Amino acid sequence: MSNKARDIFILGLRNAHAMEVQARELMERQSERMDDYPEVKARLQTHLQETNQQLHRLERCLEACGESSSTLKDTMQSGMANLMAMGHAMSGDEILKNTFANNAFENFEIAAYKSLLALCSAAGAEDARGPLQQSLQEEERMAEWVDSNVEKVTLQFVENETRQAA
């Protein structure tokens, strides 16, 4: 195991932890405002539970390396998530902006987990592979769900707007 690979792996774990903190904040804010979109709200709440498990897995991986998450990174990402949610809430098409952002964010998370998995061997952290693979699979399922529902959510938004205008 190279020390540099381990350092990069630890940095990646900390970044992934902060990323999941941001995801959790975003989903919490979004689900508070999704009463007109019950299917989206239910999926967000399910993925929120997965995200909490992902955070726990990342914390275990960090602990196994004798490390911990970065409070500063976690706090910054949490604040950014709340600002993003506020920005979307002020727009007339909040559900669409959230859908587009969620699509992008899920794919960002997928890339982050793939990168961490690529580092497992070089960092001497093979024990992390299983938990990271599980998180990757959850993110892939959520990304697929968001992507496959863009059209449905868009048309539901049009329907809701038409009904409210009548």
* CA atoms of 126 and 161, how far apart (whole Å): 51
Domain enclosing residue 32, as ranges: 3-165
- Give me the mean pLDDT over the 73-80 stretch: 56
Domain holding 112: CATH number?
A: 1.20.1260.10
Average pLDDT value for residue range 63-73: 75
Q: What is the pLDDT of residue 36?
A: 93
Which residues, 6+ apart, have CB-to-CB distance to 48 below 8 Å?
Answer: 24, 27, 28, 31
Q: What integer pLDDT is reported at residue 79 of this predicted model?
A: 57
Q: What is the pTM of this model?
A: 0.88
Find the distance separating the first CA and the last CA of the chain, reported in whole Å: 66
Number of domains making up the chain: 1
pLDDT value of residue 164: 85
Q: 58: burial class by Cβ within 10 Å (0-12, 13-18, 19+)?
A: buried
Report whether pLDDT(105) > 80.
yes
pLDDT band at 166 (very low <50, low <70, confident <90, very high): confident
